[in-house]
Copies of this chain bind each other. A is one copy, B any other.
Amino acid sequence: MKTFINVEDLGPLDQAMAEAFEIKNNRYKYQHLGKNKTLMMIFFNNSLRTRLSTQKAAMNLGMNVIVLDVNAGAWKLETERGVIMDGDKSEHLLEAIPVMGCYCDIIGVRSFAGLTDREYDYAETVLNQFIKYSGRPVFAMETATVHPLQAFADLITIREYRGYEGTKVRGYENRHDDEGNLVPPHLRTLESPTKVVLTWAPHCRSLPQAVPNSFAQWMLADPDIDLVITHPEGYELDPQFVAGARVEYDQRKAFEGADFIYAKNWSNPGVTNPADYGKITCNDRSWTVDTEHMSWTNNGKFMHCLPVRRNLIVTDDVIESPNSLVIPEAANREISCSVVLKRMLESL
């Protein structure tokens, strides 16, 4: 694997899932692959889960890890060509990227959307410069429009929990067979498709669309999942990610019979009105997921990628309920990243 950005990069989904559960069962199985290989994690923006889970995955695989926070300890980077660089940016990305590539074998990049210039953001300018100039396999650790490590972990989580009732998830237990091996729930036969609802929820700041974009893309790639997206009118996601998905503007109707509720805020994607791009055009707190919302579902599990603003996105009660999967979902970030790094190591 040379890039990891979209669900297509994974190839057949069932094969990727099988690898994920194999690694979850034995995180150190492929440790020989990473010997004398170096991962460079480049952060243009803050990170908690991605920072920690990616380091952990790389170390599981025996890799060395270098973490670079571009805005702390390095310097600001110019991205445009032709500029006389007499301002506050002391290096050009066109030098910085191949240099970074010199000192490592695989690169992970975090670079959020600016949310002011839709065209620039959706062109994935920074990510694509890394792909073009680094000479290394590159994966997105959330970029302007995608967060594939999260979406992959989300799908792993859904496959683990679908069909379960009352799993105690806070303590992150899993079922094991008589020989002590994890039982992968995705091996069970489903009687009907799993209904997964991606729901918008309110937030006090403008957030990117990367998480809902990738989540929708991943869900649509799984034939056993019936995806419904619900959000206020005007918050339509970009068709390149959601084409073919059902959109239901009535949140209650969307929630009815749902097996999984995936809550997330995003700012206006500017699809219906380009001038609204990156803006907060709805503040309706009735979208906050509370116990009543969850009562409309089929004993639905609650999911969120974290970090989550409590009592804006979701109430304390719901996120702390036995049906909340937010912690095992985060734990699966180590697994999704392990599969990606394993594949990239195999392709070196």
Write out the residue numbers on chain B whose beta carbons fall within 8 Å of the beta carbon of A36.
Answer: 27-28, 31, 60
Whether A95 lies near B306 (C-beta < 8 A) is yes
A311's partner among B60, B85, B102, B311 (CB-CB below 8 A) is B85
Is A46 an interface residue, CB under 8 A from the partner? yes
Write out the residue numbers on chain B whose beta carbons fall within 8 Å of the beta carbon of A46.
Answer: 73-75
Is A334 an interface residue, CB under 8 A from the partner? yes
| Interface segment, one of A62-70, A176-184, A191-199, A221-229 | A62-70
Nearest B residue to A66 via CB reads: B55
| Interface segment, one of A122-130, A142-150, A325-333 | A325-333
Determine the distance from Cα of A307 to Cα of B38 in the docked complex, in whole angstroms.
23
Determine the distance from Cα of A28 to Cα of B310 in the docked complex, in whole angstroms.
45
A-B contact pairs, 18 of them (CB 8 A): A28-B36, A47-B73, A51-B73, A52-B66, A82-B316, A83-B310, A84-B310, A85-B312, A92-B307, A94-B320, A95-B319, A96-B307, A98-B327, A99-B331, A102-B330, A102-B331, A102-B334, A135-B171
Whether B47 lies near A74 (C-beta < 8 A) is yes
0 or 1 for each of A292-324: is its CB under 8 Å from B? (1 = yes): 000000000000001111111000100110000
Is A250 an interface residue, CB under 8 A from the partner? no
Write out the residue numbers on chain B whose beta carbons fall within 8 Å of the beta carbon of A135.
Answer: 171-172
Whether B56 lies near A103 (C-beta < 8 A) is yes
0 or 1 for each of A40-58: is its CB under 8 Å from B? (1 = yes): 1001001111011101100
A336 → B minimal CB distance (Å): 13
Interface size on A, residues (CB 8 A): 66
List of 6 A-B pairs having minimum Cβ-Cβ separation, nearest first: A91-B307, A102-B331, A85-B309, A86-B204, A84-B311, A56-B103
Whether B56 lies near A38 (C-beta < 8 A) is yes
0 or 1 for each of A154-174: is its CB under 8 Å from B? (1 = yes): 000000000000000011100
Write out the residue numbers on chain B whose beta carbons fall within 8 Å of the beta carbon of A47.
Answer: 73-74
Whether A327 lies near B73 (C-beta < 8 A) is no
Whether B327 lies near A99 (C-beta < 8 A) is yes
Most B CB within 10 A of own CB, among A46, A72, A172, A309? A309
A74's partner among B48, B81, B312 (CB-CB below 8 A) is B48
Give the interface of A toward B (CB within 8 A): 27-28, 31, 36, 38, 40, 43, 46-49, 51-53, 55-56, 59-60, 64, 66, 68-69, 72-75, 78, 81-87, 90-92, 94-96, 98-100, 102-104, 135, 170-172, 204, 306-312, 316, 319-320, 326-327, 330-331, 334
Write out the residue numbers on chain B whose beta carbons fall within 8 Å of the beta carbon of A102.
Answer: 53, 172, 327, 330-331, 334
A49 → B minimal CB distance (Å): 6
Nearest B residue to A96 via CB reads: B48
Whether A66 lies near B56 (C-beta < 8 A) is yes
A304 → B minimal CB distance (Å): 9
